[in-house]
Structures are given as C-alpha cells and as structure tokens.
Structure 1
Amino acid sequence: MTTVLNVVGARPNFMKIGPVLRALKAKGMAAPLLHTGQHYDAAMNDRIFADLGLPEPDVNLEVGSGSHARQTADVMTRFEPVLDEMKPDAVLVVGDVNSTIACALVAAKKGVRVIHVEAGLRSYDRAMPEEVNRVLTDQISDFLFTTEREAEANLVREGIDPARVFFVGNVMIDSLLFSLDKAVPAAATLGGLAGGYTLVTLHRPSNVDVPGVLGPLVECLIEMAAAAPVIFPCHPRTRARLEAAGLLAGIEAAGIRLLPPQGYLEMLGLMRGARVVVTDSGGLQEETTALGVPCVTVRENTERPITITHGTNTLVGTDPARVMAAFRDVLATGGKAGRIPELWDGHAAERIAAVLAERL
C-alpha cells in the first residue's frame, strides 16, 4: 500500500489537511498524520482538530515555540528518526510555516518524494519568513499543487519544471464548504448579535510588533466602532502587544469587543455574518472571497492576488487614510461582490489524490 506521510504544524495547516486525508484514504492510500507541535496551545489545538474532524495525530513531535532557526532545527532533528522508521513513499506538506520547509528538507535529503500543497504563492517580500519557506519548499518538491493559475507562472519563472505542477484548486475552500453547515452562528458567539458588524484579526509581527504601526491601526478600529460594532478575536500575543503599548483602554472605551481566539466553526460563523472583515491574515482573504464577504487587508502585499482580481479583497496597506477609505466604501456600497475563483469548488483534495494515486 502506498503511504503518504502528512505533516501539519500550525493552525493554517490544520484547516487544509482534513480534505487531503479523506481523499487519500478514499483512493486506498495510507495517510498517517504527523503534528510537529509548532502550534503549542494544547486546548486550542484540540478544539480545532475536533471542529475539523481531524484524527488524533499518529505522531506528535512536540517542538513548541522558539526562534525561526531553533524551531526549524528542532522539527528537522525530531522528524528524521520518524521518517527513518515509517519509510513513507512520500511526505506531504502544506502551506508556508516553519514545519513545512523543515520536513520537506529532511525528506528531500533522504530521497523521499515531497508533495507541496498550496505551491507557487508569492508575495515577493523576502522580509516575510513565510515567503522564504514557500520559495525553498517549492524548489525541493516533486509534486507542486497550486490554488490558482498564476502560481504556475511564478514557479516556471523560478526554473521549476511545469510537469511537476498541477492546478487543483484550494483545499482551504474544501474545508470551508465541508464545514459550512456546522458553522456556529454569530449570534451564538456574540450573545444575540447576528450581523452588521466589522470582524477584525491582526497577528502579523509587521503590524502588531511595531508601535508606530499598531497605534494608528487601533485608532482606525476605534473610528470604525463609531460606525458599526467591531468584533476582535485577539491572539494572546497580539493582546500582550496592545497592553504593552497602552492601547487596551482606548479599545475598551470605544466598545470594541475583544474575544479570545475562536475555534474554526465559531470563526466561520463570525466571517459569514460580518459586514466587512479587516485582517492581515492570508487564509481569511481566501475564506472571505469564498463566502462573498468584503475584506480589507492591512498589508503592503499579498501572496493571494486572486482574492483581489477575482474575489472580495481590497489590499490597503497600513496607511490609516487608505484603511478608512476602504472601510467607508464597504459601508456605502456593500463592497466588492467578487466571484468564486476557478476550481474553488470543494474538490481540490480529490484532484490531488487522483494525481498521487496515478503517479506514486
């Protein structure tokens, strides 16, 4: 039996791996799951696994937090003996987290074929650790599965053989469509508020670790809260930065609702009911496009341009004037209608499994 060892490490991976596991098993392949432990909040980890219907990992490396170098090295040294023992036919990695490049590199050096799901996305910003992970993982992968057609052009420009590239669609959207009926209604999470609100997430170091950026962004949120309720599920790290910068009092005074990190089904319900989403997340850009919800992205670039050209996303950077102009435009016009990108139809994982069943 063909064995594909599937690697996850952090929340963005969890949301994409479920459809892949189901599709591989439906094709008669063994699909063990390895969790590196890069995402180390045990309670949130268990909650998201349950929300997504993921099986208990067959292996957990339990690497925990650390610098980029330390975390990547820890994954590599703990992954190698597992790979030696399991002897899979291929290792499948998803996305762009440290676990992705770490496990891909170990597998490639041992002659084990590497499968990269969500290949070819580029922000062209090498200051982003995720961009470095994406570029390097693609270079050493044997099968590169892309979410949009432009990704193949990115890969070919970097010297990758088009015969290794397969346009299959977006497994993140597979998970979203699979889970939509189970989404927790916003009213259940917000004590009766069912819609008409602004949903905010901020977590990128370039936004939350720089007081000169974070402060003006918070001023924008306070201004938004005067026009519509603002719901802000806040990662503990972001909350710590807000507290250190002395910004929490202003947020609370404006009536902004700070929530703890939400489970996948709760977050899905919150997105679905939002009037607009303001975020620096890559995944939310895709999910809002699939849901038809306007999205304002507070980043200078994005590796997901199809959410702008086809979807509901507007990229505004962090300039307060641009952020507020985009927000007011959504309130006035309803925002970009967008359309669902090609092959974002809930069957990407099945296409991946079909290719692997034929070629492994």
Structure 2
Amino acid sequence: MRTIAVVTGTRADYGLLRGLLRAIEDDAQLDLRLIVTGTHLSDAFGRTIGEIQSDGFEVAASVPIWSGVDTPLAAAEDIGRALPGYARALVELAPDVVVVLGDRLEAFAAAAAATILSVPVAHIHGGELTEGAMDDALRHSITKMSYLHFTSTADHRRRVIQLGEDPERVFFHGAPIVDILDTFDAMPREELESQFGIRMPDPTALVTFHPAVMDVAPAEQLAEELLEGLLAVEDLHIIITGSNSDIGTEAVRERIARFVAEHAERVDYVESFGQRGYLSAMRWASVVAGNSSSTVLEAPVLGTPSVLVGDRQKGRPIGASVAVPDPTAGAITAAIRGQIAAASGSDGDTPFGTPGFAVRTAATLRDARLPRPPKKTFHDLPEEQHDSH
C-alpha cells in the first residue's frame, strides 16, 4: 500500500483534481490522504470544503493559510505561518508522495514543506508560462522541488526537461480538464438559472477576473476597463464569479461588488458555481471574458468564444477562438461583440492530450520509484554546437 497525499487550496484546483482523487481511491494499492487549505476554508470565498465533503471525500488534514489581508507583506507572512501547518500534516500523515497542482502560493508552500521533510513531490501542470503573474516563478520553483512531473502538453514536458529534470520522471499524461470535458453533462439552462438565482438570456457573458501583480496594468485599472467594456455591449447580460485570494483581490472584489449593485438589472454575481455549474454556465454563455485560465483552456474545448484581458495568461497556448484585445474598454467592447457574432469558439484539436489523465497518473503514482530522500541530479541538455569564433 502506497500513501498518496494530495493538496487542494482552491475551487479551481479541486475541480481538476477530483478525477485523480477518485482514481486513487479506486486503486487497491493506493491510500488517499487529502489535505485541504487555502480558500476552501474561507467563508468569504464560499468555504468550498463543503463541496469536497459532499462529494464523499474524507479530509485528512486542514491547513489554514490566509489571514484575510491581501498585501504582498501579508501574503509572505501567511506563507511563513503556513509552513509549520503543512509540515505537521505531512509528518502526521506520513505519505510516500505529496501531489500538488499548478502555481499558487498554497502549492508552493506545501512543496517547500515536503522538500524540507524529504517527502517526494509530484507536480501537475508544470512547465507552463503565465508571464503576467508571479505564479510563473512559483511554478518553476515547484518544478525544481518536485520529483515526478505530470505536464499538460508535450511542449510543457520539454520545458520541464529544459529546467534540468530527468525525462524518465516527466510524464505527458494530458491535462486533467480533458477527462472532465470528455464526460461532461451540462446542466440544463433552466436548472442552472434556478439553482444559482441567475439569468442567462442571449447574449450572456461569463466573467472571471483575478488580480496579477505583474500584469500589463494595475489590477484595479484592468478590472475597470473590463467592466466598462462589458457594459458598453448593448443588451449583454453579465454573470461575474468570485476572484481568487491573490494579492490585490480586496480592491478588485469591492469594485466588482459596486458594479453588480449599480447594474443589478444586467448583472448577476455567483461567488462559486462549483465545477459542474461553472462549466455549464460556460456552455450556455455567448462569450467568456476575463483573465482566468478557463478563457484559454475550458472555453475553447467547450466551443465557447472567449476574450482574454491582460497578460495573466501570456505564455499559455492561445487558440484561434480566443480574442486578445488591447486592455482598454473600447477594444474589449469590440472584441466581445466580435466573439458573440462568431457564435462558435471550437478549436478542434488541442495540444492537451487525450482522456485518461486520472487513470494514467494514478498508475504512475503507484508504480514509480520514490526514493527517500528524493535525490535528483541535474539533467543537462546535449551541448549545442557553437561556431569557434
């Protein structure tokens, strides 16, 4: 029996991890230990630990991390206080490997604690780029702390190897979202409207915006341009979801709250749809807008045109169905109108692999060699041939 600890810190990463959690539970040789942290434990962000428990997963450990203050100093201090919590959880659970996904501070701190304790780390979604966010540096740091790597595209696998990781420990099993969308059954529009108290006339925009400290402009300015751009589209109904607990989120959330109150006849707000609700809303929306990764991954796969604002996702694969306007209200308005007129956002083939991520990854977690301590050597690429002069 091999014990697998999995860390989840937000509604977004939990949605991507759910299939893997099921696959681990279904494998008689694997023992799941779920560590819940981040906004899952926050009332302000919907306390989504309830969604995890309603799905039938047992929470092995809870690690509070956020103080509720969204300044850079507070975030750094929160991470410092979180490290002992992660460390105690890992010592108590004694996993053979700890699985983290993505690029957020919650994953970074968990990987750091595991590294100090000599627990092997398995990282999902390494090798990607988000040049408008500090997540970029965090993701690559997690890669260097990790022993196993599960990338979402072949190009991302090559990038992880370029960072010095042994190719034998870097696996392209596809993106978790491909599994989800392969079997996705959208809620009927009427059920969605009733359950979440929203309206979805045609046209409707589904909007998610997260602050990013390295974006092309300050988060408040980008949010203002986005909201103004949406409002200028005649007869457009707008559904806005809650922002992540990123640095600067308080000001963005306050601005969005005012916008919702000022334009209640045209705007609905949902803090957290949950995965099926969110994907269903995306399926029925006329356009997806904002700077969430869902604008460049889920929306194209579902066939919904999208508008990406700012640099938060810069560096990710951007399909033809994703419009990337200048971050001004006028350009955003024009892009939204154009995408609504286009009607379909299907990109056809994607670089994100085939269904089966969860099963393939669970099998690798079961069968891979996991030394303690997880010592690594730096994998050098073949030396390039240089002109002698």
Q: TM-score, normalised by structure 2?
A: 0.80
Q: How many residues align?
A: 354
Counterpart in the other structure of 1:231: 239
* CA apart distance, 1:61: 1.5
Secondary structure of 1:3 counterpart: strand
Q: 1:177 to 1:47 in 2, by over 3 A?
A: farther
Secondary structure of 1:166 counterpart: strand
* CA apart distance, 1:294: 0.7
Instruction: Say if 2:93 is the partner of 1:92.
Output: no
What 5-or-longer segments of structure 1 have no aligned partner? none
Match of 2:285 among 271, 274, 279: 274
Q: Deviations over 1:70-128 (max 9, x none)?
A: 22222211111222222211111111111211111121222211100111111234xx2
Instruction: Say if 2:104 is the partner of 1:103.
Output: no
CA distance in 1, matches of 2:163, 2:338: 38
CA distance in 1, matches of 2:12, 2:110: 16
Q: 2:208, 2:291 within 8 Å by CA — same for their partners in 1?
A: yes
In the TM superposition, what are the counterparts of 1:107-122 in structure 2 within 5 Å? 107-122=114-129
Counterpart in the other structure of 1:294: 305
* CA apart distance, 1:318: 1.5
Counterpart in the other structure of 1:257: 267
Secondary structure of 2:100 counterpart: strand
CA distance in 2, matches of 1:196, 1:222: 13
Instruction: Say if 2:72 is the partner of 1:70.
Output: no
* CA apart distance, 1:183: 7.2
Q: 1:276, 1:295 within 8 Å by CA — same for their partners in 2?
A: yes
Q: 1:235, 1:260 within 8 Å by CA — same for their partners in 2?
A: no
- Two-structure CA RMSD over aligned residues (Å): 3.1
Q: 1:70 to 1:177 in 2, by over 3 A?
A: farther
Match of 1:339 among 329, 348, 352: 348
Q: Which moved more, 1:201-210 or 1:129-138?
A: 201-210
* CA apart distance, 1:23: 1.3
* CA apart distance, 1:37: 3.8
More helix by share: 1
What 5-or-longer segments of structure 2 have no aligned partner? 370-389
Secondary structure of 2:296 counterpart: helix
In the TM superposition, what are the counterparts of 1:144-155 in structure 2 within 5 Å? 144-155=149-160
* CA apart distance, 1:182: 5.5
Instruction: Say if 2:141 is the partner of 1:136.
Output: yes
Q: 1:233 to 1:107 in 2, by over 3 A?
A: closer
CA distance in 2, matches of 1:194, 1:271: 13
Q: 1:222, 1:251 within 8 Å by CA — same for their partners in 2?
A: no
* CA apart distance, 1:22: 1.3
Counterpart in the other structure of 2:206: 199
Secondary structure of 1:332 counterpart: helix
Q: Deviations over 1:181-216 (max 9, x none)?
A: 557744434566355311122222558964433333
Corresponding letter in the other structure for 1:293: T
Q: 1:333 to 1:241 in 2, by over 3 A?
A: same
* CA apart distance, 1:282: 1.4
Counterpart in the other structure of 1:40: 41
Counterpart in the other structure of 2:52: 49
Q: 2:219, 2:252 within 8 Å by CA — same for their partners in 1?
A: no
Q: Which moved more, 1:143-152 or 1:315-324?
A: 315-324
Q: Deviations over 1:264-309 (max 9, x none)?
A: 1322221110010112111343221221111111122525633x23
Counterpart in the other structure of 2:379: none
Q: TM-score, normalised by structure 1?
A: 0.86
Instruction: Say if 2:5 is the partner of 1:12.
Output: no
Counterpart in the other structure of 2:251: 241
Q: Taking every aligned residue pair, what percent have the same amino acid on both sides? A: 22
